[in-house]
Structure 1
Amino acid sequence: MQLLINSLSKFELRTVRYAFFDGDNIGNAIENLLNSGRVKEATHLSESIKLAIFQIELFIRSRKGAELIIAGGDDVLIKYDATVNDYAFLQEVLNIFNNFTGLSMSCGAGDSVNQAITNLMSVKQQNKGGVLLTSEGIGTQNASMKQTKLYIFVTSEIPDPYINVIAHCNANYRSLSQVTLVGITEDRGRIPTEIGKLERLRQNISDLLDNLCRSKYPKKVDDQLTLLDIQIEPADRQRYDDLKRLTLETKVLDYQILGEEISSLIRSTDSFKYIFDVTAVAKSYLVDVYTILRFKNISDIYSFELFKKRDFDERDLVHNLIYRKTYGFTCLAETPHTENKIIVNETSIVTENEFNRLQADFSMLENERNSLEDKIANDFAIFWSLSYLGVLLFLFAFSSWIIAQPGGWDWLEPTIYIVTFAWFLLNFLLQIVFGGKAPSLNPKDLFLSLKNWKKKKLVRTRLADAKK
C-alpha cells in the first residue's frame, strides 16, 4: 500500500509539458544569401542548421525528464517534465541553435502540443528569439501581465513629436507601461551632457502634458514664452492625462558599443512587446539602429509621419490629427522591400574550417553509433546461434541415448531420414513463400540473417524514436 502511495505521489508531482522550437526567418536568411550570389555561405548556413539540430537532439536525450518527439529541418518538438526542467532548460536549446548558426530560435511551450504551437506562433509575432510558456495555471496570468515597452530615439528637446508617438502607442498597443527616451553619442565624455539633455526633455514632456490637460499650450510670442488658451475636447484632455501615469525613463547609448547597448534594452526573460520609434533619430545613426534591431529579429521599428504641412504649434499635436489621414505610424520593416527580410551577420556563419571540424565530429559520432549497433546485432546473432547449437547438441545426446537402447537404432534410422528430409523441405518452402527473404536454416547463413535482422530493427527503432 505504501509503495502504491509513493508511486501515485511521484505521478502527481510530474508535470508534463510540450515545447515546440522553430528557427526564426531561416528561409529568408538562406534566400537572401542565394539572391546575393553567396552560394557557399548559404550552404554553410544550411549545414550549420543541421549540426545545430543534431546537437539539440543530443542535449535533449541527455536530460532527465526530457523526450524528443520530432527533430527535422529547423523544427524541434519535445515532451518534458517541468518539475525537473525549468525555463533555463528551454533557453539552453535556443542558445545551442544560436551558437551554431548565429540566428535566433523561438519556443512555445504549454500543457499540450496544440498549446505549444499556439504559443510558438504568438512569440514569433511578438518577441522572436524568446520563450512563451502558458499552462492552465499560469496562462491567464501571463496574458494579463504582458506589457509593451516603447523606446523613442531623440535628438531635440522639443516635446511635441515625442508626445505624439507616446499618445499613439498608448491608444493602439495594449499594456503600455514604460517609455524610454534614448539618446546616442559617439563621445563618451559627453554622456553626462546627453543625460542632462534627456532629463530636460523628460521634464518638457511632463510640463507640456500638464498644460494640455488645462487646455494650455506654450508658445513664443515676441521672444517671450506665453501660455496660450487652446481648444481641446474633454476626451482629448483625458487622453493626455492618461499619459502622465506612464513611467518615463531615459537612456544614453554609447555608439562605440551600440549593438551591446541595444541588446541591454531588450534582454529580458519576460515576454515583452518592444516598439522602437526612430522618427527623430539622427540620419547618421538610422541605418545602424535599423540594422542592429533587424539582426536581433526586432521588426517593430516605426516612424511617425505627418501627411500635412507642419505648423510648428499645437495644430501638429495628435489630438488635431487623424490616424492614416493626416498622420501615419509606419513600420519600416514591413515595406514591400523589407518585409520578411532579415539581417545576417557574416561573422556568425560557420567558417569553412569550423564547418569541416564539425562535420568530422558529426561523422565520428555516426561511425560510433554504427559500430555500437553492429556490436549489438553481432551479440544478438551469437546468442541465438549458441542456442541453436545447444538444440543440436541435445538432439545428438538424445540420439546417442536412443542408440544405446535395445532396438534403438531400428527406430532412429528411419526417424533421422524423415526429420532430415522435413528439415530441408521446410527450408525450401520458407524460401519459396518469402521470396528468398526468409533466413536460411543453414548455421552459417542463419548467423548472418540474425545479425542483419537485428541491425535493421535497431535502425527502424532509431528512426521511429526520432519521429515520435
Structure 2
Amino acid sequence: MPLDRSNRLYIFASSDRPDPYVNVLVHALSTYPLVEVRFIGIREHEYSNEQVDGRVNATLTAVYARLEELASGLSGEDYSPSVDMNGRALYRTCLEKLEDVQVGASVISWPELDQRLGRLAAHGRPMFDVTTLKKNLLMDVVALLLSRDCSDVFNFELLKAPNYDERDLIHALRPNEYKYRSIAESRHIEAARRRMVSRSMTFRSIAWLTLAITGIVAAVQIFFPNGWGQAAVTVIATATSIAAWLYFFRRENIS
C-alpha cells in the first residue's frame, strides 16, 4: 500500500482485551499516514441486552488506558518486568499520533453490514483490521469487502507461539515474530477473486449475447414475418442462446 496517501483505519472489535488493538495501533500509526481510526462493533442480534455500543466504547477506553500504562513503563502484570525505555517511547509516540487523528467508535447492525461497508469502502483510503473479529463475522466482512474490490483488509498475526501476556505486545516482539498481513495476499484468496471475476464476465457476456440474439430475432420477425429466413434465424438464434447458457452452467458445475 502506498504511504503517500491518507488512510482511514477501521478496526472491527470483538474482543474486550486491549492488547491486540495496542499492537495494531502501534504498527499502523508508525507505518501509514492515518487521518482516522474508528473502532467498529457489529450488532448480530437486536437483543435489548446485547449492548454492543457500550462494549465498543469500553474497549476504546481500555485501549487508551493500556497505552498510557505501557508508556509509563508499567506492565500491569506481576510476573513481567516493567517496559524498557524503547518500549515506553514506542507507546508514547503512538499516543501522540492518536492526538492528531480522528478517533471514534460506532456500531453496525448485521443486516446493514453490506450497505455500511460499501459506504466505508467508498470514502477516502480505507483500511480494515479484522484481527479480533469473530469467525462467523470475519467471513461475512472479508467476503463483502473483497466483492467490492477492497483488498486492504489486514490481520495482526503472531509468527510464534502466543504467551497470552505482555510478551505478545509489540515492544517485546522481534520483527520476525509478527506480520501485519494483508488477507488479500493469500494465493487462495487471489485465486478465488480471479474465479469470481471470470464467472461474472462470462455471465455478462452470455447475457449480452442473449439480448443481442433476441433483438435480431425480433427484427427478423417484424421485417420478414413469413419467410424461410425467419424460421432459420429463429432456430439458429435459439440454439446458440441455449448452447451458451448450457456451457455456462456446465462450467459452474465442473468448477
* TM-score, with length taken from structure 1: 0.40
1:206 to 64, 73, 76: 64
Show the counterpart of 1:231: 84
Q: Is the 8 A contact 1:166 1:243 kept in 2?
A: no
The residue identity in structure 2 corresponding to 1:165 is V
Q: Contact 1:212–1:240 at 8 Å: present in 2 too?
A: no
Q: How far, CA to CA, are the matches of 1:266 and 1:247 in structure 2?
A: 17
The verdict on how the C-alpha distance between 1:340 and 1:179 changes in structure 2, with shifts beyond 3 A counting, is farther
Aligned length: 214
Distance 1:220 1:178, change over 3 A: farther
CA offsets, 1:222-267, max 9 Å, x none?
Answer: xxxxx98432425324333334323222122222232112112223
SS at match of 1:338: helix
Distance 2:180 2:11 in 1: 13
CA contact (8 A) 1:290 1:301 kept: yes
Structure having greater relative contact order (Cα 8 Å, sep ≥ 6): 2
Report how far residue 164 of structure 1 moved.
0.4
Supply the RMSD in Å over aligned alpha carbons. Answer: 3.5
Number of the residue aligned with 1:153: 12
Structure number with greater Rg is 1
Q: Deviations over 1:144-182 (max 9, x none)?
A: 7x3101111121111110110111111122x21211112
Q: Specify the alignment match of 2:244 in structure 1.
A: none
Asked if 1:263 corresponds to 2:122, the answer is: no
Q: Deviations over 1:16-54 (max 9, x none)?
A: xxxxxxxxxxxxxxxxxxxxxxxxxxxxxxxxxxxxxxx
Question: What secondary structure is seen at the aligned counterpart in 1 of 2:10?
Answer: strand
Alignment correspondent of 1:224: none
Once the two structures are superposed, residues 205-229 of structure 1 have per-residue CA deviations (whole angstroms, 9 ceiling, x without a partner) of: 11111222211233489xxxxx984
Trace 1:175-324 onto structure 2 (pairs within 5 A).
175-190=33-48, 193-219=51-77, 229-233=82-86, 235-245=89-99, 246-268=101-123, 272-323=124-175
2 CA distance for matches of 1:256 and 1:362?
43
- Distance of 2:138 and 2:208 partners within structure 1: 34
Unpaired segments ≥5 residues, structure 2: 219-255
Corresponding residue number in structure 2 for 1:336: 187
Alignment gaps of 5+ in structure 1: 1-124, 127-142, 222-226, 365-468
Q: Distance in 2 between matches of 1:258 and 1:191?
A: 20
**What is the percent sequence identity of the aligned residues?**
25
Distance in 2 separating the partners of 1:214 and 1:276: 29
Matches within 5 A, 1:28-43: none
TM-superposed CA distance for 1:354, in Å, is 7.1
Work out whether residues 307 and 327 of structure 1, in 8 Å CA contact, stay in contact via their aligned partners in 2: yes
- Output aligned runs, 1:8-407, within 5 Å: 146-173=5-32, 175-190=33-48, 193-219=51-77, 229-233=82-86, 235-245=89-99, 246-268=101-123, 272-323=124-175, 325-339=176-190, 341-342=192-193, 343=196, 349-350=203-204, 356-357=210-211
Instruction: Go from structure 1 to structure 2 and tell me whether the alpha carbon gap of 1:285 and 1:332 turns closer, same or farther (over 3 Å shift).
Output: same
One-letter identity of the residue aligned with 2:140: D
Q: Summarize the Cα distance change of 1:210–1:235 in structure 2 as closer, same or farther, 3 Å threshold.
A: closer
Distance 2:198 2:139 in 1: 15
